[in-house]
Amino acid sequence: MLDRNWLEYQANQIEALLAAHRHDALVVGVQVSPRWVRFLLRLGLGTKISSVENLSEELALALAVSAVRITRSGGTLAIEAPLPSPEPIYLLGLVQDVDMLPPVTAVLGLNTEGEPFTLPLMAPEVTHVLIAGATGCGKTELLRSLLLSLALYNRQAHLQIVLIDPKRRGMIPLDGLPHLLADVATTPEEALELLKYVVAEMERRDQEDAPPTPRIVVAIDEVGDLLAVSDKETTELLVRLAQRGREAGIHVIASTQRPSADAVPGALKANLPARLIGRVASAQEALMASGIPGTNAELLVGSGDFVAVIGSQVTRFQAAYTGPADIQRIISYLYESAAQPRYSGQGPSLAYDGASEPSDEFVDVDWARGSQQENE
């Protein structure tokens, strides 16, 4: 818990700096998350938002932080600053506050109001997702927690997952998930075969007017690395999935360090409407990653600090972390009542062994309540 006197001191610093520049402003509220604090300002009549934004460096200096983000929040202006002693957010702790979710909805972390932040993949403005940011911003950890939360809240009969990991590090810990269609693909050849299989399944569903179930999530850690060492066919298959996968119940989630056109082709990026952006080096890279100006992603503090761009709405959130011990705990739990379907390579039809019938029930996550989190 932050010291109240410290919060009041910081609020006074903000008001004093703005008053010194003849800006009428009053701190009317404070929101504290595990990693940053948000001061809500009410501006006097005639005070321009742009004039406050131009003082971002001075505000950071007054608050003794590396950088601040300034955003509009309803009728107030929000100044967001990193905390001196941030705390991690653990996925298993977070699911205590999320009993039920709509189908194929992922738990990502906490938003600026301290509430669980979720991502409904079946929403028209989401469907496919691009995760971007510099090395160390937490892209892989976010992708792992996203996939694990999907597995926790959706049975195999409803959701199956394809993992592609050219780095051979990020997705390998998830190789035991019972929702996987195949082992994690780590080579260009393996990735190509899996993409061919998923595209064939998409075409089968389209041609037969088959229901889009089970939903298939194709997750790629560092898509730029994959496309750099793959042939043209791999790119074409990914683009087809992004363009046509929605109606067939197929979702693409791709992470990349470089969201530039030479790493992620424009035809692919244009069909990944939902963007999860971590710390980037410049405002230009923030624009390139998000597709809209003003996200201030270059001012994020890293280590799981993200903004979500969904439609025209920008939401800052702290990504949930899942350590190696918790990953194994989740996988072991899921295996207690689930068989493991695997891709046979014999055709586009998804075979399910009938171990559990499709239903509208969600996986009970009471087992996670009160569990001791391990940060390894």
- State both tokens at 323: 């350590």
| Cβ(223)–Cβ(229) below 8 Å | no
If you search the block for the tokens 């559990």, which residue do you land on? 356
| Dihedral sign (CA 19, 23, 24, 30) | negative
The predicted pLDDT at position 73 comes to 74
pLDDT score at 369: 32
Give the HSE-up count for residue 198: Cα atoms under 13 Å, Cβ half-sphere: 36
In this prediction the pTM is 0.82
Six token digits for residue 273: 């409407």
What confidence tens digit (pLDDT) does each residue in 41-84 have?
999 888 899 999 999 999 999 999 988 989 887 789 999 998 88
3-class DSSP assignment, residue 201:
helix
Contacts of residues 11-17 at CB distance under 8 Å and 24 or more positions apart, as own/partner, are 11/39, 13/62, 13/63, 14/39, 14/41, 14/59, 14/62, 14/63, 14/79, 16/62, 17/55, 17/58, 17/59, 17/62
Domains plus CATH for the chain? 4-82 (3.30.980.40), 91-349 (3.40.50.300)
- What is the structure's pLDDT at 338? 58
- Three-class DSSP category at 265: coil
Cβ–Cβ under 8 Å, residues 268 and 242: yes
pLDDT the model gives residue 97: 79
Q: What is the pLDDT of residues 169-199, one digit of tens each?
A: 899 999 989 999 999 999 999 999 999 999 9
In the prediction, which pLDDT does 2 show? 66
Residues of the chain short of pLDDT 70, as ranges, are 1-2, 337-376
